[in-house]
Amino acid sequence: MALITCQEALDLVAAHIAALFPRTCTERVPLEQALGRVLAQSVYADRDQPPFPRSTRDGYAVRAVDHGVRKLIGSVRAGEVWTGASLAQEETIEVMTGAPVPDGADAVVMLEHVEATATTVSISDRHLPSAGDNVVPRGQEARAGDVLLHAGVRLAAAEIALAASVGAAGLDVYVQPVAAVLATGDELVAVDQTPASHQIRNSNSHALAAIVREHGGVPRLLPPASDTRESLLERISVARDADMLLLSGGVSAGKYDLVEDVLLSLGAEFFFTGVLIQPGKPVVFGRLPATQTHAEQWIFGLPGNPVSTQVTALLFAMPMLQALGGESLPQPRFVQGTLASIMKVRSGLTRFVPAKLSSSLHAVTVNPVEWHGSGDLASNARADCYIVVPSDVDSVAAGTTVTVLLR
């Protein structure tokens, strides 16, 4: 199978994601446990929002058509309601932020813009009100029955607050997908073991497990497979009931890179087996067919070098995982930033260069970190993103706007 471009690979994953919907596996969780979950049933307004004309400032409720000194007839604060008569000509009522605006009033003048005594309020000519000033009308934000949160949204603090405001004490969410994580290679030992001079600790499994959790999945770590068909077959068979299988290592063209052959022997269908990117060129995306005992399973064979593993997981595997968890058409997270220093790379592949974002009120800048290839875990940990360098570029000047892949 021929190598394809990064955009072609992203498009292929997106096409398979689109075919997954609608999802059906749901459960109900208390609101306090819904953070990070994907909403399965839309949330509706139980009443108009706001349910009354709401003052957005501490000040005085007035009729905008009036002029001159107003007579102060009372006050109302948040949690109270004015029970007196509707506001009459040249009358005013003191109101606090969040309080219901009394009947008859159509504006609120900020307290900084008036001169008040115990019985009167004078408004400066510079701050004469217009109808609607500092008032949110009833139902301006939503009407009773409106959809406030659509199914498929991932619930963060803002969504939790909105659900709480309409009394949604429990929410229907999609069941979190399970991703089996399998590292391959005779050189791997467990993290609590002391490696020999020719061995390394298995960092990839733990990195992938963390990435899966960050993207709403449940990781299942398997013991590493050795570079034999028998070991790979045994480990993959154990992982067969997971929604997704993430393999790291064994997908290059070496004598002991057996992952693709073993998956083919199990009936795997591959959608791509290499992408024109660096790091991560040998990445594999496919699917194992359903059997009498197991549903179909999405598979990603990720290169074994640690930075390659993480970049390809973010680009290709995590959007699929998020979709399996019910999120509507997820994509990798790209932003734009200003390059802080010149970059020189070799053209021909789309490059993902570890970098550090810096932000202020007025600008987002990004600076590449010094790194020594896709095995450099220390440099990767000093970074928090990846600068994307197009395949036809070999030099990027400082001050250029660049695309950044977020972690």
List C-alpha distances in Å: 259 to 5, 264, 283, 304: 22, 9, 11, 12
370 within a domain of the structure (yes/no): yes
Q: Which residues pair with 184 in a beta bridge?
A: 225
What 3-state DSSP class applies to 397?
Answer: coil
Q: Residue 208's pLDDT band (boundaries 50, 70, 90)?
A: very high
Same domain (yes/no): 85, 118: yes
Boundary of a domain, candidates 136, 164, 191: 136
Say if residue 257's pLDDT is above 90. no
Write out the residue range of the structural domain in which residue 99 sits: 54-136
**Band of pLDDT at residue 118, cut at 50, 70 and 90:** very high
CATH of the domain at 169: 3.90.105.10
Residue 132 CA to its chain's centroid (Å): 36
CB atoms within 10 A of CB 371: 19
CB atoms within 10 A of CB 194: 7
Tell me if 361 is assigned to some domain. yes
Domain count along the chain: 4
Average pLDDT over residues 307-320: 98
Looking at the fold, whether 297 and 287 belong to one and the same domain comes out as: yes
Residues 89, 179, single domain; the answer is no
Report pLDDT for 377.
96
Is it the case that residue 254 has pLDDT exceeding 90? no
Other Cβ atoms within 10 Å of 69 Cβ, number:
15
**What pTM does this model have?**
0.92
Is residue 70 in a domain?
yes
At residue 253, does pLDDT exceed 70?
Answer: no
Residue 1 lies in a domain: no
Q: Give pLDDT, residue 22.
A: 87
- The beta strand positions in 176-283, using DSSP E, are 178-183, 188-189, 200-201, 218-221, 244-248, 269-272, 277-278
* pLDDT reported for residue 70: 96
- Which residue, 301, 324, 347, sits at the end of a domain? 324
Q: Tell whether 356 and 376 lie within a shared domain.
A: yes
Q: How many CB atoms lie within 10 A of CB 108?
A: 28
Task: Write out pLDDT tens, residues 45-102.
Answer: 999 999 999 999 999 999 999 988 999 999 999 999 999 999 999 999 999 999 999 9
CB 261 within 8 A of CB 229: yes
The pLDDT confidence band at residue 256, using thresholds 50, 70 and 90, is low
Q: Which long-range contacts (CB under 8 A, 24 or more apart) does 289-297 make?
A: 293/240, 294/240, 294/241, 295/243, 297/240, 297/242, 297/243, 297/244, 297/245
Residue 156 DSSP one-character state: -
- 342-352 pLDDT, tens digit per residue, is 999 999 999 99
Q: Are 95 and 110 in contact (CB under 8 A)?
A: no
CATH code, domain with 364: 2.40.340.10
Say yes or no: 284 and 381 in one domain: no
Q: To the nearest whole percent, how much of the chain has pLDDT over 90? A: 95
